[in-house]
């Protein structure tokens, strides 16, 4: 998001959201939708699978 990793943001399992530590914008982790300003556009979402003790993500963007 905005050339900054959301992985360092605060994850809220109850709201299924992650907050950007840089801007404070929140995104729905299920579909990437922006939940509050200053974000208005969704972020990319990626297929994720959990296998044994690892989590795998795939970037399918062109």
Q: Residue 32 falls within a domain, yes or no?
A: yes
Tell whether omega for the bond before 38 is within 30 degrees of 0, i.e. cis: yes
Q: Residue 13 falls within a domain, yes or no?
A: yes
Q: Residue 62 falls within a domain, yes or no?
A: no
Label each residue of 8-35 as H, E or C: HCEEECCCCEEECCCCCCEEECCCCCEC
Q: Residue 1 falls within a domain, yes or no?
A: no
Question: What is the number of domains present in the chain?
Answer: 1
pTM: 0.79
For 38, the domain range is 6-57
The CATH number given to whatever domain includes residue 11 is 2.102.10.10
Q: What is the pLDDT of residues 37-55, one digit of tens each?
A: 999 999 988 888 999 999 9
Q: What is the pLDDT of residues 1-23, one digit of tens each?
A: 677 888 899 999 999 999 999 99
């Amino acid at each position: 998001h905005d050339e900054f990793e959301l992985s360092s943001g605060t994850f809220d399992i109850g709201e299924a959201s992650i907050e950007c530590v840089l801007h404070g914008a929140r995104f729905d982790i299920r579909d990437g939708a922006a939940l509050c300003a200053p974000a208005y556009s969704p972020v990319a979402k990626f297929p994720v699978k959990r296998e044994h003790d690892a989590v795998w993500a795939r970037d399918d963007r062109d």
